[in-house]
Amino acid sequence: MTTIPLRGDSLHRLERYRRVRQRTLALCEPLTAEDMMVQSCPEASPSKWHLAHTAWFFESFVLRDFLAGYRLFNSDYPWLFNSYYRSFAEFPEKRLRASFSRPGLDEVLSYRKHVDGAVERLLCGDTNPEAVRRIELGIHHEEQHQELLLTDILHAFSTNPLRPPYLPGGLDAAPGARRQGLIGDIPAPEMGFVEFTGGLREAGYAGTGFCYDNELPRHRIWLDSFAMANRLVTCGEFAAFIADDGYLRPELWLSAGWDAVTANHWRAPLYWSGEDDETKIFTLRGEAPLIRLAHAPVSHVSFFEADAYARWAGYRLASELEWEVAAAAQPVRGNLLGTERLLPAPWGLVAAIGPGRREAGNAPAGDGGEPPEEIAQVYGDCWEWTSSAYLGYPGFKAPEGALGEYNGKFMSGQMVLRGGSCVTPEEHIRVSYRNFFAPETRWQFSGIRLAR
């Protein structure tokens, strides 16, 4: 740990770096070394791999380029823990990460300490502005992996016949569970819609801090008038879709969606089991009856399921730009990772969280002004599927070099999600943030907001 006195921005960067790195370790505290080896589907990664890969990112893109005399911890790690940066190094097949019994957990933790000491030395010096930018990118990259670590371990535990919880004590052990209605004893209000006037607007990141390249450039858009639901679709409402044979009616589904339903035998969201009054949902806090989560937002649905539900309900999904315009005036607050609930919570939770953070410069442009009323659950709970394909904004250009592979090369066959989830770090999310996954993806905390 550094003992050199620091002030201002340098101290802030160092504290934020330490805070994020420590949170990753804290998320692993409930896990055994055996837990951290499990990879239960090709899309997921073992927790131990997440620990190593996030250290790899700082070593590969910061320390090797900007810290004079830096020595690699292990000459095999640059390729072993590479994820998908082909112009940097070759890498093992992703689905085989569970076979990495070596290096052991102790060595991976030593690797993290080695990297942390070097990054702190770099931050305590006269840091190159490009190094500062990459460290900030590395911090946000690690926050992404904090979310992935939790979604991956949820999937892993769901495949274990013992159905072990990530955290013990069940739903009642969640902070403020009964007081804030987490366990479903406070019903969601009737769904309503908030109207937004059409016109010329702006979208994309407008601030002066960090953003990903796919949030730029800020640009003008034209939107027709639209309306957004004032809350997310609940588990109870989605159960009505199931009861009405929603998974058995091809007229509700996109062609590729129906193919996914039939090929994968979908009959309910991921982690739902049983039928009717016996339905249960597996969560990071263990398995719980549907009736106890009926008023919480439905989660772990694919884009195809979200789209089919919207069609069944007589509505549609919003475009990502409609979502951004509707959310622009809302403070960044919600059931995010910092609440430590680790599962979507009912409507009534938002009022107890506080005022949140407002995004300077991202208010809607043009006529229309502020929305007439607040839409709830904008941030946290569940990533919200939109109807928008993941593409570059007009004028988008990926950065040169290996870091240009971070986002741009995935702009094909993916759909955009907005708003963050109950396992998204609160400092990580913003109104212009664009998440993206293939339309059949279900293992993320992904939910539904209706539009018309």
| Residue 356, both tokens | 């949140």
Q: Is 354 left (phi over 0), alpha (psi -120 to 50) or beta?
A: left
User: How many whole angstroms separate alpha carbon 35 and alpha carbon 282?
Assistant: 17
pLDDT on residue 275: 87
User: How many whole angstroms separate alpha carbon 113 and alpha carbon 111?
Assistant: 5
Q: Are 300 and 271 in contact (CB under 8 A)?
A: yes
Rounded to 5°, angle at Cα 266 from 174 and 388: 80
* Domain range summary for the chain, segments of one domain joined by +: 8-158, 171-451
Residue 40, helix vs strand vs coil: coil
Mean pLDDT per block of 10 residues along the chain (452 residues) reads: 53 94 98 97 95 97 96 96 83 86 96 98 91 97 98 98 94 67 66 96 95 97 97 97 98 98 98 92 97 96 98 98 95 94 84 58 44 78 98 94 88 97 97 98 98 98
pLDDT on residue 22: 98
User: How many whole angstroms separate alpha carbon 304 and alpha carbon 258?
Assistant: 8
Q: What are phi and psi of 138, to 5 degrees?
A: -65, -35
CA neighbor of 386 nearest in space, from 292, 297, 306: 306
Of the CA atoms within 13 Å of residue 285, those in its CB half-sphere come to 22
User: How many whole angstroms separate alpha carbon 335 and alpha carbon 349?
Assistant: 7
Residue 251 burial by CB count (10 A; 0-12/13-18/19+): exposed, middle or buried? exposed
Q: Which residues contact 362 (CB under 8 A, 6 or more apart)?
A: 205, 206, 207, 328, 430, 431, 432
Helix residue ranges, H only, 46-128 = 47-58, 64-66, 77-80, 105-123
pLDDT on residue 227: 98
pLDDT on residue 359: 58
Q: What is the CATH number of domain 171-451?
A: 3.90.1580.10
Q: What angle separates helix 129-158 from helix 47-58, to the nearest 10 degrees?
A: 170
Question: Which pTM was predicted?
Answer: 0.93
CA neighbor of 294 nearest in space, from 228, 347, 351: 347
pLDDT on residue 373: 60
